[in-house]
Amino acid sequence: MSTAGTLVIDVGTSGVRAAVVVRGVVGPLAYREVLPDTPFPGLVELDAAALSDAVLEVANEALAAAPEPVASVGIANQRATTVVDRATGVPVAPALGWQDLRTIGTCLEMQGRGLRLAPNASATKLQHLLDQADPERSKDLCFGTIDTWVAWALSGGRLHVTDATNVGVTGLARTDAAVWDPEVLEALRIPPSCLPTIVDSSGEVGECAALPGAPVLAGIAGDQQASLIGQACLQPGQAKATFGTGGMLDCVTGTRPAFSHRGEGGSFPIVARQRAGQPTWGVEAIMLSAGSCVEWLRDDLGLVASAEETEAVAAAVATTGDVYFVPALLGLGTPEWDFGARGTLLGLTRGSGRAEVVRAVLEGVAHRGADLLEAAEQDASISVEALRVDGGMTANSVFVQALADSTGRPVEVSPQREATTVGAAYLAGLATGVWSTEDELAELWEPAQVVQPRPSYADRDRWKDAVQRAKAWIPALSELKF
């Protein structure tokens, strides 16, 4: 095994961090906050120029603190956020965040033409930006998701690339995620010349000329796929769940799922990673509200002073007293996909207090995690023996136990709260000889904790009844299907 380090640039929704990873160990983190702007409800914009400045700042800070020489660079990124710039590298407008919903009307229009495009994907966002900056489609413009933009910045404007994990969630590619879809490009009037080159998730791409020593860019992955690899989920039937503001569950299937858009269980096909031109497939299930429900307890209800306090408050009672909370503050994702569902608190009595409500919120998010797992297993026709988890909520022992109880599986807590950084380093390290095989990565997995389920503790039937009561609260929104 090589001792050369990998610099990882990890771009999240609210900022960018960098660290040098040596033999799977993450060094000191450098971080810069780059917050999105919400000029109007439903609109989410990002200053791409400020982001690229932050990328170079944290990269140089992490390199200065590196204990070992750095031979490669890996990128992990929030997916589907859309940047359009001139070939000179100057953005023509603010980037549109993955949460931006301004193109819902276009998505509905495209359904009438037989194209299923989601408003959180890049496709209609790119059309919108081109319509604003280049309605005649005559200018020399470049499109990219965040990985593309970071690679451009690190290479000094020499690399215009993206990888298969990011392409798969743009809405612009064929189902094999290896080529752009000419039907979608034509429908949205997107010139192929503005699109980046699709490369492997693990493979040498080019030099990062803007960094000292010009290390080679060798790993790229969307954040959820990077987390999947960072938790050594490499074989079919291995799955991880990330519990941040929302929640994502990703499961490796190996072969391509039989569906191209969404399975009957409500999950989506993804490329887990691509090496030597060969994709490894998976499915992804989505929870729209997870940690945001804890923020709601803190910021809006005032029941806790901090997110950390929820653990002790919830632990003060053994059960919720038959109180159930459905975390549908933004609607329900997998498996229902009901945008008109709303958060629901059921079973309150005169004896229901602060502790019961806080515990019900944690258990509600855990039940939703079990929903995602069931959906992924149904769509992939596989069985997951244990669930690996990362994200901020996994620091809460009450939540992790509730997740084990709801899923009926052992829950393995990642030693890295944010496994995306490790995953991007693994991809780059495989390409540059730090590791020879994926089996070596599997041997590195050492969970910080394994939590066993308590038999018959979680009442899933009662939970599913609560979900039914939360659905279709706003019927007009419930009718929207993407």
Q: Tell me: the pLDDT tens digits for 159-188?
A: 999 999 999 999 999 866 678 999 999 999
The pair of three-digit structure tokens given for residue 121, joined into one six-digit string: 């994907």
pLDDT at position 457, please? Answer: 79
Nearest to 260 by CA among 190, 122, 187, 168: 168
pLDDT at 3 (0 to 100): 67
Question: What pLDDT is attached to residue 402?
Answer: 98
Dig out the tokens for 442 from the structure.
């599997």
Handedness of CA 88, 93, 97, 100 (dihedral sign): negative
Question: Options 3.30.420.40, 3.40.50.720, 3.30.870.10, 3.40.1550.20; which CATH number does 232-413+452-482 get?
Answer: 3.30.420.40
Rounded to whole angstroms, the Cα distance separating 430 from 74 reads: 11
Provide the CATH number for the domain formed by 5-223 in this structure: 3.30.420.40
pTM of the model: 0.95
Q: Pick out the chain residues at pLDDT < 50.
A: none
What are the residues facing 82 on neighbouring strands? 96
Residue 449: Cβ within 10 Å count: 13
- Residue burial 43-58, b: 16+ Cβ < 10 Å; e: rest: bbbbbbbebbebbbeb
- Lookup result for tokens 């100057």: 90
pLDDT at position 1, please? 55
State the residue for tokens 């496994």: 419
| DSSP letters for 411-442 | EEEPSSSSTHHHHHHHHHHHHHTS-SSHHHHH
Single out the residue of 428, 450, 458 nearest to residue 441, CA to CA: 428
Kind of pairing between the strands at 278-287 and 268-275: antiparallel
Residue 340: DSSP 8-state: T
Instruction: Give the Cα-Cα-Cα angle 271, 185, 45 (nearest 5 degrees).
Output: 75
Note whether 5-223 and 232-413+452-482 share their fold.
yes
Give the residue extent of every domain in the chain: 5-223, 232-413+452-482
Q: From start to end of 317-436, where are the E strands?
A: 324-326, 344-346, 387-390, 411-413
DSSP, res 454: P
Chain position carrying tokens 């590619």: 173
Instruction: State both tokens at 43.
Output: 């609109």
